[in-house]
Each structure stands twice: as structure tokens, then as C-alpha cells.
């Protein structure tokens, strides 16, 4: 073992030391990173100064990055920015600006890109500039939520499918996609229970974009989704960012959310790459 893997809560989230991820990584170390990812769902790396090029290179080990979307998107690049800074001027965006509305949605538990037909294996978020206080990112385990169910409950869930839709989830915070902006969005249908191919452990594909259980009436559907979401919140890790942190999270086994900071006073800039599930873990040698 080359890596030092330290669990941050029992069985969920781990700090990884002993590798410089801004440089090419040997296949056996990549394998250790993958095993830790499969085991802990969220990996925290400290003191890893990244720029866009090194982030793209690191991201390739996980699969192919989605192109431009999300918050304040850098259109046509593989990045989503989580930031209160104007992409052109670098100045703080006024808090009543439309672009800041996205942040509200981000504060609800979610899995990135679960509203896409090809959902996401993982996201990689690099801290370029962090506020001195606030702005933690919180993670909750939908794998431990699944594993807390009884065998009967697990069996019942096994056959279910869920419709995920970002028009639904953004509607919850009062954001309406106009016709043009809504174009291209679909309702994505995924199995509720997901099996990790690396270790066979199961998790729930839920979060704020999960709109309805297919074939169930609205009330029952909402009740089940809310109950599963509440179970996930039993195990939470709150990440306090330092500059040059890199966090990789599993979008199939964990939900996450942003938390507030004084965005009129402090600057925050994080760059996210989002890896598609399709074509994940490419062989590279
Ligand atoms: C994300 C996200 C939360 C944050 O990058 O997908 O939800 O705290 N970020 O910026
Ligand atoms: Mn997110």
C-alpha cells in the first residue's frame, strides 16, 4: 500500500495521503484510489494545488468529464464553477443576481447529474479560493441508508425505478426554466437501487432531483423518497474547505449539499469536473 487512508466517519468518507495527484499516477496507486473510493464514497485530498490542466488530467483516471453545465458554467469546457465570482471580471456577483439563484438549489441534498440519462460516477471539486468561514460541503451516505433497511424493505426497493428531473428540483426553490432554457432537459429514469461493480455494495439513487417512483401515486412516492432521504442524513460528514483541497465524491452512493457563507464579503471559487457513469474507470495501460 502506498496510500494512507484515514476514515473520517466510520465507513464513510476518507482522507487520502501519500500521493501527488497533480502528477501522473502509477496504475497500482490508481487501483488503491479506486478501492478507497469504492469503500468510502468520498475522498478528501489536502494540499494538492490544482489548475485546470492538472484537474482534467486527474479526472481522466475516473472516466470522461461532462462538458460545461451546472453553476455559472464555463460553456464548452469540462468545468462547472461553484463560485460567487464573475467569470470575466473576477468580482463578487451581487447576491440578488440570477446567477446566484443556483446556489439555493445546491443547498438541497443532491447527486450531481442524476437528472441526466447518463448519470454521474463522481464529481471532483478543487478548492481554488475558499472563504475563511462557512461554505462547508456536507455529504451523506445513501449506501449506509440502504444497508440500514430490513431485508424485506430491500426486496421491495429492488424493483423500483425513479424519475429524476431538474425542472422539478429547481422548481422547489422557485426557479422556473423558461421554454428556451428548459429545452433539452428530460426526465431521466434510473433504478432506485444501484450496485457498485467494484465491491458489490448497494446504495440508493435519490436526492432532490428524484421526482417520483415510477407507477406509484404521488403521496406514497413522496413519502418513500422522503423517508429514504431522512435515513441518509443519519451519517453526515461536513467538509470544511482549505485552499488546495480536492474532494472526489461518488454520485451513486452519496448525496451532498452546499452550506451558506457570507457571499457578499468573502470570495469562493471551486472548479468541478463531473465524470459520466458511462465509460467510467477506463483501462489505461
Ligand atoms: C457541487 C456542489 C457544493 C459546494 O460542486 O456539485 O454541490 O459546497 N458543491 O460548492
Ligand atoms: Mn453538487
User: What residues does each domain of the chain span?
Assistant: 4-276
Provide the β-strand partners of residue 138: 238, 257
> Does the C-beta of 125 come closer than 6 Å to ligand 1?
yes
> Does the C-beta of 123 come closer than 6 Å to ligand 1?
yes
| pLDDT computed for residue 180 by the predictor | 63
Class in CATH terms, 4-276: alpha beta
Residue closest by Cα to atom 4 of ligand 1: 258
| pLDDT computed for residue 71 by the predictor | 47
Q: What is the mean pLDDT of the chain?
A: 94
Q: Ligand nearest 136 Cα, by number? A: 1
pLDDT digits (tens, 9 = 90+) for 135-149: 999 999 999 999 999
**Contact present, 87 and 75 (Cβ < 8 Å):** no
- Cell numbers for 259: 452550506
> Does the C-beta of 270 come closer than 6 Å to ligand 1?
yes
> Does the C-beta of 122 come closer than 6 Å to ligand 1?
no
Closest ligand 1 atom to Cα of 135: 8
> Does the C-beta of 272 come closer than 6 Å to ligand 1?
yes
Closest ligand 1 atom to Cα of 80: 5
- 15 pLDDT more than 80: yes
Q: pTM of the predicted model, to two decimals?
A: 0.96
Closest ligand 1 atom to Cα of 123: 6
In this prediction, residues 27-34 reach a mean pLDDT of: 97
> Does the C-beta of 112 come closer than 6 Å to ligand 1?
yes
| pLDDT computed for residue 284 by the predictor | 87
Closest ligand 1 atom to Cα of 268: 10
Q: Which residues contact 166 (CB under 8 A, 6 or more apart)?
A: 115, 185, 209
Query: At 212, is the pLDDT very low, low, confident or very high (cuts 50, 70, 90)?
Result: very high
- 39 pLDDT more than 50: yes
Q: Where are the beta strands (DSSP E) in 34-106?
A: 42-45, 80-83
> Does the C-beta of 106 come closer than 6 Å to ligand 1?
yes
Q: Which residues contact 51 (CB under 8 A, 6 or more apart)?
A: none
- 45 pLDDT more than 60: yes
Closest ligand 1 atom to Cα of 272: 5
In this prediction, residues 252-268 reach a mean pLDDT of: 97
> Does the C-beta of 256 come closer than 6 Å to ligand 1?
yes
Q: Ligand nearest 138 Cα, by number? A: 1
Q: How many CB atoms lie within 10 A of CB 24?
A: 11
- Cell numbers for 43: 475522498
Amino acid at each position: 500500500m502506498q496510500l494512507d487512508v484515514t476514515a473520517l466517519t466510520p465507513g464513510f468518507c476518507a482522507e487520502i495521503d501519500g500521493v501527488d495527484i497533480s502528477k501522473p499516477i502509477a496504475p497500482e496507486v490508481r487501483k488503491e484510489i479506486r478501492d478507497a473510493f469504492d469503500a468510502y464514497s468520498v475522498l478528501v485530498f489536502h494540499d494538492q494545488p490544482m489548475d485546470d490542466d492538472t484537474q482534467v488530467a486527474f479526472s481522466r483516471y475516473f472516466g470522461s468529464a461532462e462538458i460545461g453545465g451546472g453553476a455559472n458554467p464555463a460553456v464548452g469546457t469540462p468545468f462547472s464553477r461553484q463560485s460567487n465570482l464573475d467569470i470575466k471580471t473576477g468580482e463578487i456577483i451581487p447576491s440578488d443576481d440570477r446567477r446566484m439563484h443556483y446556489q439555493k438549489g445546491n443547498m438541497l441534498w443532491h447527486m450531481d447529474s442524476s437528472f441526466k440519462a447518463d448519470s454521474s460516477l463522481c464529481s471532483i471539486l478543487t478548492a481554488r479560493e475558499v472563504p475563511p468561514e462557512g461554505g462547508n460541503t456536507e455529504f451523506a451516505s445513501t449506501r449506509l441508508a440502504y444497508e440500514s433497511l430490513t431485508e424485506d424493505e430491500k426486496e421491495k426497493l429492488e424493483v423500483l425505478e425513479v424519475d429524476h428531473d431538474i425542472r422539478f428540483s429547481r422548481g422547489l426553490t422557485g426557479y422556473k426554466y423558461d421554454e428556451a432554457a428548459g429545452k433539452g432537459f428530460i426526465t431521466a429514469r434510473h433504478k432506485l437501487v444501484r450496485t457498485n461493480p467494484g465491491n458489490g455494495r448497494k446504495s440508493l439513487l435519490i436526492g432532490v432531483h428524484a421526482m417520483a417512483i415510477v407507477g406509484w401515486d404521488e403521496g406514497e412516492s413522496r413519502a418513500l423518497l422522503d423517508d429514504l432521504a431522512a435515513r441518509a442524513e443519519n451519517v453526515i460528514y461536513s467538509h470544511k474547505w482549505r485552499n488546495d483541497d480536492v474532494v472526489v465524491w461518488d454520485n451513486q452512493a452519496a448525496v451532498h449539499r452546499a452550506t451558506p457563507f457570507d457571499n457578499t464579503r468573502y470570495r469562493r471559487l471551486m472548479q468541478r469536473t463531473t465524470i459520466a457513469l458511462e465509460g467510467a474507470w477506463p483501462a489505461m495501460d
